[in-house]
Structure 1
Amino acid sequence: QLVVAIGNPLGFESTVTAGVVSALGRSIRSVSGRTIEDVIQTDAALNPGNSGGPLVSSNGQVIGINTAIINGAQGICFAVASNTAQFVLSEIIRHGYVRRAYIGVAGQTAPVPRRHAVLAGVENKMGALLMQIEPDSPAARASLLPGDVVIRLDGVEINGVDDLIRALDHSRIDRTLSMDVLRLGRLRAIEIHPVGRKPAKQ
């Protein structure tokens, strides 16, 4: 699909560049380390100053918000999908921030040892390894421990930290969820009750 990017690259006001939608459903990592989901990849040229401008389809519909480029690459640019932008805007208007379900853990993506997967009867090759549990958090109250590997949450397969973050969206705030974890190679079913928490100011 043909698209047009509009913005003020390098201070040149009202500049228009054209290209095509190269791919949909990409994930990129922001400067802060957060994953941005469901972005549009395009080869419409973007430069500093394009960010925040619209990515428009050939029939005049705004389909995304120009967001990022990969330095040194040719024609690899990204725009946040308009549906995501509308959701974020509505959350900010209603609550002042985007709500996320909070459980109080720090973790990293880690491989699931094959023998543990076979013993537990799971197919995960990767999971979310919990490194730290915050005191008096939902995770602490659910008796999660450092070293536990989360492989499923609320019926969603977890193959890493990004999957866990993605699963903890606003729809799971103040709900009791089932969580499957591997602890010392054994599968354990745990109930956890995520809460909503206002993000800390940067």
Structure 2
Amino acid sequence: SGGPLVAADGTVLGVNTSGLANGAAITIPADIAWRTAETLAKHGRIKRGYLGIRSQTVEVSAAAQKALKREQGTGLLIVGVENDSPASQGGFIVGDILVAVAGVPVLHHDELFTRLNGDVAGKSTPIEILRGGQPQTVNVKVGER
């Protein structure tokens, strides 16, 4: 069960739910709830995209930020690429740093998951990486689960 979490001015901040296994209550932020509702209305299900990588958050050097022509303090260092995955088919290699999906900077794992879900799942999508400190854009058909 649950209901809206509303600010004093009437703005909906999120949706409360007690649906966790231990009965703990959480609030789903309003932007995520709306995005999920729109995806369900459009596709009838939630499309989950994946690349087939293992990654960890790393700092992006000042020189790499200059090459990117933007300030971006972190990205995702690729530490593993699954065989026959969208990432391997796109040419990703261990050591690449993923910095953007579809032109939107990716600073940490949560942002990558958000960018891969929805409309890009199953479609060719530009993914920006740093390889040897130099930016490259690779079009990858994002896998769908």
* Counterparts in 2 of 1:89 and 1:182: CA distance versus 1, 3 Å: closer
Q: Report the more deviating stretch, 141-150 or 118-127.
A: 118-127
8 Å CA contact 1:127, 1:150 repeated in 2: yes
Q: Match for 2:95 among 126, 142, 147?
A: 147
Partner of 2:16: 65
Query: Where do 1:20-59 residues align within 5 Å?
Result: 52-55=1-4
Partner residue of 2:22? Answer: none
Q: Find 1:84's aligned residue among 18, 33, 37.
A: 33
Aligned residues: 133
> Based on CA coordinates, which of the two structures has the bigger radius of gyration?
1
CA distance in 2, matches of 1:56, 1:164: 26
Whether contact under 8 Å (1:67, 1:80) holds in the other structure is: no
- Pair 156,67 (structure 1): closer, same or farther in 2 beyond 3 Å: farther
* Aligned with 1:165 (options 113, 126, 144): 113
What is the distance in 2 between the residues matched to 1:56 and 1:133? 40
Q: C-alpha distance in 2, partners of 1:89/1:56? A: 22
How far residue 105 of structure 1 moved from its aligned partner, in angstroms, is 1.0
Q: Secondary structure at the match of 2:119?
A: helix
Higher strand share: 1
TM, length-normalised to structure 2: 0.74
The 1:110/1:67 distance shift into structure 2, 3 A limit, reads: farther
- 1:4-24 deviations in whole A, cap 9, x for unaligned? xxxxxxxxxxxxxxxxxxxxx
When structure 1 is superposed on structure 2, of 117-126 and 152-161 the one drifting more is 117-126
Distance in 1, Cα, partners of 2:52 & 2:82: 5
2: CA distance, partners of 1:119 / 1:155: 15
- TM-score for both structures, normalised by structure 1: 0.55
> Partner residue of 1:40?
none
Distance in 1 (alpha carbons) for counterparts of 2:110 and 2:56: 9
Instruction: Decide whether the 8 Å contact of 1:55 with 1:66 is kept in 2.
Output: no
CA distance in 1, matches of 2:5, 2:131: 49
The percentage of counterpart residues that share the same residue type is: 20
Q: Give structure 2 stretches of 5+ with no counterpart.
A: 20-24
Q: Which has the higher contact order (CA 8 A, sep 6+)?
A: 2
* CA displacement, residues 9-53 of structure 1 (integer Å, 9 cap, x when unaligned): xxxxxxxxxxxxxxxxxxxxxxxxxxxxxxxxxxxxxxxxxxx43
